[in-house]
Amino acid sequence: MWLRLRQIAGVAAQLKPVEEDLVDVLGIAVCYRDPHIDYFGLENALFPIGNQLLEVVAPIQENTAGGRYIERRGGDGGYMVITQCDDHGPRRKRVENLGIRIVHDTKSDQFINMQLHPRDTGGTFFEIDQQMGESALNRDGPWHPAGPDWRAGQRLDRVRGIKAAEVQCDHPEDVARRWSEVAE
């Protein structure tokens, strides 16, 4: 069983200025905008960085989880660490055995998603997903949240991958232990 960092999501009060900065500084391009994310009161843009994704979300209505998070932390910042696994069943069982609440989950013949409650994991949203279907386990394989052809947006001139995610929290050792329990 493996788990890898596939996507990082940040949250911003306004999408457009952050999007413009990312394009200018990192030389990356938007590969997808999820037309269904408005369900959460958000808009977004996804950018390929190598075979991983950087997503920025921004609230488009009042009283969203993203908007409340911006208020709590006093500004824009990291929002989600999204991982890809090769076998979702044991991951879900582990989460349930640890008593971690699932905030949102979906399952289709192509994709399984599980967002864990940040109060149970610490730090921020920790998400474990599995892509299904042909080439799903390839490092450059399909990734449902990034749309039908995320590779069309790849720009490799300045950046080629995401090495790590640093989670801001009050008790980093406790959060590291908890995330290790989940990821085991």
The total domain count for the chain is 1
pLDDT of residue 123: 87
CB 168 within 8 A of CB 78: yes
CB 151 within 8 A of CB 140: yes
Phi, psi of 17 (to 5 degrees): -65, -35
**Residues with Cβ < 8 Å from 71, sequence gap 6 or more?**
none
Phi, psi of 40 (to 5 degrees): -95, 5
CATH number at residue 105: 3.10.180.10
Q: What is the pLDDT of residues 59-95, one digit of tens each?
A: 999 999 999 999 998 999 999 999 999 999 999 999 9
What range defines the domain where residue 121 resides?
A: 3-183
- The reported pTM is 0.95
pLDDT of residue 160: 96
Whole-number Å distance between alpha carbons of 155 and 27: 7
pLDDT of residue 168: 87
pLDDT of residue 47: 98
CB 116 within 8 A of CB 100: yes
- Burial class from Cβ neighbours inside 10 Å (0-12, 13-18, 19+) for residue 152 reads exposed
CB 31 within 8 A of CB 153: yes
Taking the chain (184 residues) in runs of 10, the rounded mean pLDDT of each run is 97 98 98 95 98 98 93 93 98 98 96 96 95 95 96 96 92 95 93
Whole-number Å distance between alpha carbons of 52 and 43: 20
pLDDT of residue 184: 86
